[in-house]
Amino acid sequence: MATIANNIQEQHRRIAAACERAGRAQHSVSLLVVSKTFPAAAVREAHAAGERAFGENYVQEGLNKIAKLADLRSQLAWHLIGPLQSNKTRPVAEAFDWVHSVDRLKTAQRLSEQRPDTLPPLNICLQINISGEASKSGIAPADLPTLARAVAALPRLRLRGLMAVPEAAADFEAQRQPHRALARLLADLKQQDPPLFGGLDTLSMGMSADLEAAVLEGATMVRIGSAIFGARSYPDKSPSISSSTPA
């Protein structure tokens, strides 16, 4: 039976193979282990296998794991990758290291105001609704320059790049298209204002099913969960818990 450590090794092998195909260095793509719905013990096991970055979709679930793994806090980077409601920004600003799902200026402003001065700046990705799906969070591509400029000006935040959850596609070439579009958005943004945006370095895209397509189109961070921990069993969610971003 495959273990979490074995599954992690397999995902790194996939990343390495995809990087080789794309003519990229393997270290140019990092693995974000998506631990949503899995217990703190599974995160601890993944950490023992060498992983340091973990993604959570639901604020309270993430906070609970951060507390349970307090002894590892200095060794872990916690990423919120699910939609963030305005009334939940304070605990996120106080506990997480990254937020991938910012799609409103109000949310960014609250995170900035509530980020403690004693912590490093909170790393921010702007979520793009790259496939234009009504059911998905994220801003329209046309709205990116305005939001990016406003977020980049906020204190105690560090704008890092873009994130997207493309519409599922079984065909490899179809998988590549939205990732290519997101990479182009980032490149265009950097070109528009190099002093302000030239340092943006993150394309958070690619999941268990489309890792290879994302890496081929320039992903710098892939979000992998089910291929590491196995199939998820979703409990009934209370209204206070944000909706999911698959990985």
| Any domain includes 90 | yes
| pLDDT(183) > 70 | yes
Containing structural domain, residue 195: 4-18+30-229
| Any domain includes 181 | yes
Residues 7-58 have pLDDT tens digits of 999 999 999 999 999 999 999 999 999 999 999 999 999 999 999 999 999 9
223: left (phi over 0), alpha (psi -120 to 50) or beta: beta
| Any domain includes 102 | yes
Q: Using alpha carbons, select from 88, 114, 113 the residue that is nearest to residue 101.
A: 88
Do residues 30 and 16 make contact, with C-beta atoms less than 8 angstroms apart? no
Q: Output the pTM of the full model.
A: 0.93
| Any domain includes 48 | yes
Q: How many CB atoms lie within 10 A of CB 187?
A: 13
| pLDDT(239) > 70 | no
| Any domain includes 25 | no
Determine the pLDDT at residue 15.
98
Residues 152-175 have pLDDT tens digits of 999 999 999 999 999 999 899 999
Size of the chain in residues: 247
Measure the CA angle with vertex 196, ends 190 and 197; round to 5°: 30
| pLDDT(76) > 70 | yes
Determine the pLDDT at residue 1.
58
Do residues 224 and 79 make contact, with C-beta atoms less than 8 angstroms apart? no
Do residues 101 and 84 make contact, with C-beta atoms less than 8 angstroms apart? yes
| pLDDT(238) > 60 | no
| Cα 162 to Cα 136, 181, 207, distances in angstroms | 15, 11, 15
The total domain count for the chain is 1
Domain with residue 59: its CATH number is 3.20.20.10
User: What token pair was written down for 199?
Assistant: 């340092």
Rounded to whole angstroms, the Cα distance separating 245 from 4 reads 21
Rounded to whole angstroms, the Cα distance separating 2 from 136 reads 33
Q: Cα torsion at 55, 97, 46, 234 (round to 10°)?
A: -30
Rounded to whole angstroms, the Cα distance separating 74 from 97 reads 11
Average pLDDT of span 98-122? 98
Do residues 210 and 202 make contact, with C-beta atoms less than 8 angstroms apart? no
| Any domain includes 237 | no
Give 141's DSSP letter.
Answer: G
| Any domain includes 187 | yes
Rounded to whole angstroms, the Cα distance separating 194 from 191 reads 6
| pLDDT(242) > 80 | no
User: What token pair was written down for 140?
Assistant: 């329209």
Mean pLDDT of the chain: 93
Paired with 222 in beta bridges are 31
Do residues 205 and 222 make contact, with C-beta atoms less than 8 angstroms apart? yes
Rounded to whole angstroms, the Cα distance separating 224 from 220 reads 13
Say what percent of the chain tops pLDDT 90.
Answer: 87
Local structure of 181: helix, strand or coil = helix
Determine the pLDDT at residue 2.
77
| Any domain includes 135 | yes
